[in-house]
Amino acid sequence: MSNIFLLIAFTSFIFALLLTRQSQDFSRKIIRNSLGLHDKKQSHLHFYFHDIVSGRNPTAVRVASAAITNTSSTYFGAIVMMDDPLTEGPEPSSKQVGRAQGIYASASLSELAFLMVLNYAFTEGEYNGSTLSILGRNPPLAAMREMPVLGGTGVFRFARGYAQAQTHSIDYNTGDAVVEYNVYVHH
């Protein structure tokens, strides 16, 4: 009997030793500067998002829906893939600063509310090539919507923050919309 306990104790000891060794190899502490990152910054980005669903060159297209989507008052289950331009000003001809690439999906049975899963892919100036990742809830009929910024790449490594959206204009015939965004990030 005691031999079995001895065996169990010995096996646990070896296992613990292996785990310790593994975690030593798996991670180590580093200082922020060694990654070329220095002081934390706060940035405020301001741009307009153009959601073009109509015409010959839409930038947002429905890619899936449920059996109830078309009879649902909230389009529940509709999934839309977007590659929407982001511009400095509200006019479509305004200078482009990036694209909003990702998905919005109708996720509420009781009111129009989208699950937003997207990356802002910036193309302008010091932000060119950097991205911010957004995951949040967007009820588009609300005056102000807020979505978390969960992370980023390039100049936005370690980003955390939030994006506030306000509809600038909407064409109720076509569904095309321009949305003003204010994005606040620590990075």
* CB 75, min distance to ligand NAG, A: 9
80 touches 105 (CB < 8 A): yes
Residue 22 binds ligand NAG, judged by CB under 6 A? no
Sort 60 into a burial class: Cβ within 10 Å, 0-12 / 13-18 / 19+. Answer: buried
Among 123, 166, 169, 174, binds ligand NAG (CB under 6 A): 123
Residue 77 binds ligand NAG, judged by CB under 6 A? no
Calpha distance 135→160 (Å, rounded): 12
The residue with tokens 């939030």 is: 162
99 touches 150 (CB < 8 A): no
Calpha distance 169→1 (Å, rounded): 79
For residue 97, what are its two tokens? Answer: 């600063």
143 touches 166 (CB < 8 A): yes
59 touches 97 (CB < 8 A): no
Residue 166 binds ligand NAG, judged by CB under 6 A? no
Residues forming beta bridges with residue 144, ordered by sequence position = none
Residue 92 binds ligand NAG, judged by CB under 6 A? no
* CB 71, min distance to ligand NAG, A: 9
Residue 128 binds ligand NAG, judged by CB under 6 A? yes
Q: Which stretch binds ligand NAG (CB under 6 A): 4-12, 122-130, 168-176, 179-187?
A: 122-130
Size of the site for ligand NAG (CB under 6 A): 6
DSSP letter at 159 equals -
Among 37, 124, 135, 184, binds ligand NAG (CB under 6 A): 124
Task: Give the contact letters, 49-68, x = binds to ligand NAG (CB under 6 A), - = no.
Answer: ----------------x---
For residue 89, what are its two tokens? Answer: 């000003």
User: Closest CB to ligand NAG among 97 and 165?
Assistant: 97
User: Closest CB to ligand NAG among 1 and 67?
Assistant: 67
Sites of contact with ligand NAG (CB under 6 A): 65, 70, 123-124, 128-129
